[in-house]
């Protein structure tokens, strides 16, 4: 069965698990809607639901796409991967969430390597998390509400939401440039945790090469996909690859006219709209 435009994970569980265990939603409610990724109560709310908005990822053409950044916190995998890549170990490393910097904004996390039994800082790495988002979110709310009120067997085959990937990229790319410039000025590293679905889309839209990991550069993308053995298993984050860039490469990509359409194409759109709005008698 093709899985498309339907929730992939809800409150940490693959949607198929609600079919395997008809009491799963009741158990999650009894436990207070605790997120398995943050170990805290899910507090995302919408006035359209009586329960938290617990959709972690959605299926798009059979691929689970993460739409909740907290989903990346599973088993602290991303922090271990980054620390081990740069420092060889995650010992004597602490993570500081939401570190604010004047005129720059907040860093999602900063990993700090300190001397053993000491507060003295040896090194630090900025870590940013970028999930995707959806359009027509009301349909996704309906998906969750249907599961909650009607059960797995009464779900629709798909729901009418879309992916907002291009907008996600546009909004995050400015932050990538700003925080990348800060990292280069400080001679430190900034790591963007991102799913392959978004990163591959970014490669296709901009003039960006699929670079290899390079410690001489300061901007790094840790690119993950979600894997599982079978439908009875849960999804796990799997590091697919790491791509490294300098700020000039990102600026060049942003300045590229690779995706800019020709004016004739836009004029054809205008003509079509005029014809639709003012049809000839």
Q: What is the pLDDT of residue 205?
A: 84
Q: What is the pLDDT of residue 134?
A: 95
Q: What is the pLDDT of residue 101?
A: 93
Q: What is the pLDDT of residue 204?
A: 86
Phi/psi of residue 106, nearest 5 degrees: -110, 145
Q: What is the pLDDT of residue 259?
A: 64
CA–CA dist 76, 88 (Å, integer): 16
Sorted by where each begins, the domain ranges of the chain are 1-68+134-162, 75-130+164-281
Q: Bridge partners of 220?
A: 191, 244
Taking the chain (281 residues) in consecutive chunks of 10 residues, what is each chunk's mean pLDDT?
88 96 94 93 83 94 95 98 97 95 94 93 97 94 94 94 94 94 97 97 87 97 96 96 96 72 89 88 58
Residue 192: how many other CB atoms lie within 10 Å: 24
CA–CA dist 184, 180 (Å, integer): 6
Q: What is the pLDDT of residue 258?
A: 62
Q: What is the pLDDT of residue 172?
A: 93
Q: What is the pLDDT of residue 281?
A: 58
């Amino acid at each position: 069965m093709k899985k498309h435009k339907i929730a992939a994970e809800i409150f940490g569980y693959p949607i198929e698990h609600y079919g395997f265990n008809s009491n799963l939603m009741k158990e999650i409610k009894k436990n207070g809607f605790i997120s398995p990724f943050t170990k805290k109560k899910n507090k995302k709310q919408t006035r359209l639901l009586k329960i938290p908005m617990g959709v972690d990822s959605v299926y798009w053409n059979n691929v689970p796409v993460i739409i909740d950044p907290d989903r990346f916190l599973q088993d602290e995998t991303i922090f271990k991967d980054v620390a081990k890549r740069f420092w060889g170990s995650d010992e004597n490393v602490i993570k500081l969430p939401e570190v604010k910097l004047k005129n720059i904004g907040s860093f999602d996390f900063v990993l700090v390597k300190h001397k053993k039994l000491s507060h003295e800082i040896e090194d630090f790495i900025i870590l940013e998390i970028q999930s995707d988002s959806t359009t027509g979110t009301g349909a996704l709310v309906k998906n969750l509400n249907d599961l909650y009120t009607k059960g797995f067997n009464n779900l629709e085959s798909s729901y009418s939401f879309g992916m907002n990937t291009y907008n996600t990229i546009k909004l995050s790319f400015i932050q990538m440039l700003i925080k990348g410039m800060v990292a280069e000025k400080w001679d430190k590293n900034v790591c963007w945790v991102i799913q392959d679905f978004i990163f591959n889309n970014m490669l296709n839209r901009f003039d960006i090469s699929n670079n290899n990991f390079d410690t001489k550069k300061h901007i790094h993308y840790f690119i993950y996909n979600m894997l599982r053995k079978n439908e009875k298993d849960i999804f796990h984050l799997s590091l697919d690859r790491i791509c490294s860039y300098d700020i000039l490469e990102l600026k060049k990509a942003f300045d590229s006219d690779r995706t800019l359409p020709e004016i004739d194409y836009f004029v054809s759109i205008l003509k079509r709209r005029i014809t639709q709005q003012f049809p000839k008698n």
